[in-house]
Amino acid sequence: MMDGQEILTRLRATDPQALDHLYRQAYEVKRQHVGTSVYFRGIIEFSNICLKNCLYCGIRSGNDQVQRYQMTDDEIIETARLAHRMGYASIVLQSGERQDPVFVDHVETILKKIHRACNGELGITLSLGEQSQETYERWFTAGARRYLLRIETSNKELYQRLHPQDHDHDRRLECLELLKTAGYQVGTGVMIRLPFQTYEDLRDDLFFFKAHDIDMIGMGPYIEHDQTPLAGNTDYMIQEDPLEMSLKMIALARILMKDINIASTTALQALSPNGRELGLMAGANIIMPNMTPVKYRNNYRLYENKPCLDENAEMCRDCLARRIKSIGEAIGYHQWGDSPHFYKRTASTGDGRKHD
Ligand code: SAH
Ligand code: SF4
């Protein structure tokens, strides 16, 4: 296994030959351990109402220039059915963070409705922030099987700098454990090239993922949003290309955690039109096509230059299919594409539930 020094050296590398070697090595690990099929998770951003105020995020509660929305149940179910019809075997339901009973009940109802509408064939991932143990359990019982909760950074002090005082890093880490206990496949991740972040922080992020035995990673570059307090802090960033830094993180994550699922995130595409394909070539195996109805997309801008704001789900699918074919990979339509790591992790406890 690579030690901390080697990871740092590889994270700092900018020589094209060293980078090429890193990406090829990661791709080979991916090929051997999870294969070269790409799995799609259609993402439905069903509401931008958020009670939190993260300093980097465009839909933070303090941004009063955003028009808030909530998709109707029918719109959400219809979008889930569309994903199902298009052969995406999994969806992600994402929104701003709320913990009130109306919201918790609502998500539970949506989960049950989707389960019914798609004969339980659709894998459902949630990305709805920090919740109580009871809520996580209720949503699991209602049919959710995976959960994405990024820790944003493993450096507690940096986390505090990027959030208001009442946002608690320890609580976020605790939630990851609650999710595991509830039986979810657990995903986490960080933003890359945040103001004040160092290469050592990124190395520690990788160690954090490994130490916490997580099943899935979704990480991507931090991208400014000019209606946020963090915008304009560019002097305090590592002065390196964010796309390259993100690809290096993906590759190192793949080499360190061979059998997990790693997403090639939309934020990569915001930096370069072929950013997601480069992510796949560096070791990622998951893509999250945006399924949010076009009329809402403009209001779900976590960062500037979010791509494909005017492309509907079918257009996204065709464009992605072409792009994936161009790099010689196959698409795992109609397959859940669960993280193999999850089944190994839970084999001893018998908690794992196979879906496809
Ligand atoms: N409210 C939920 C889910 C929506 S936000 C939550 O916070 O967990 C999903 C992710 O978007 C966050 O975890 C964060 O990592 C990412 N994000 C927010 N603002 C961003 C920005 N300016 N650049 C890149 N990613 C951002
Ligand atoms: Fe809300 Fe998530 Fe944005 Fe934080 S990152 S403000 S919790 S939507």
pLDDT digits (tens, 9 = 90+) for 41-75: 999 999 999 999 999 999 999 999 999 999 999 99
pLDDT (mean) for 203-213: 97
Q: How many angstroms does the Cα of residue 303 sit away from the middle of ligand 1?
A: 9
Cβ(159) – ligand 1 distance below 6 Å: no
**What is the residue with the minimal CA distance to atom 8 of ligand 1?**
129
Query: CA dist 183 to 141, 144, 190, 343, 350, Å?
Result: 10, 10, 22, 11, 10
Q: In the chain, what is the greatest distance between 2 CA atoms, to the nearest angstrom?
A: 54
User: Quick check: 162 and 56 in contact, CB under 8 A?
Assistant: yes
- β-strand 146-148 against 185-188: which pairing, if any? parallel
pTM of the predicted model, to two decimals?
Answer: 0.95
- From the CA of 66, the nearest ligand is 2
> How does pLDDT run across 162-191, given as a tens digit for each residue?
999 999 999 999 999 999 999 999 999 999
Mean pLDDT of the chain: 94
pLDDT band of 262, cuts 50, 70, 90: very high
> How does pLDDT run across 218-260, given as a tens digit for each residue?
999 999 999 999 999 999 999 999 999 999 999 999 999 999 9
Cβ(194) – ligand 1 distance below 6 Å: no
Cβ(96) – ligand 1 distance below 6 Å: yes
pLDDT (mean) for 302-326: 83
Q: Could you give the 3-state DSSP secondary structure of residue 21?
A: helix
Cβ(150) – ligand 1 distance below 6 Å: yes
pLDDT score at 223: 96
**What is the residue with the minimal CA distance to atom 13 of ligand 1?**
150
pLDDT score at 349: 54
Q: How many angstroms does the Cα of residue 302 sit away from the middle of ligand 1?
A: 6
**In this model, does residue 310 exceed pLDDT 80?**
no
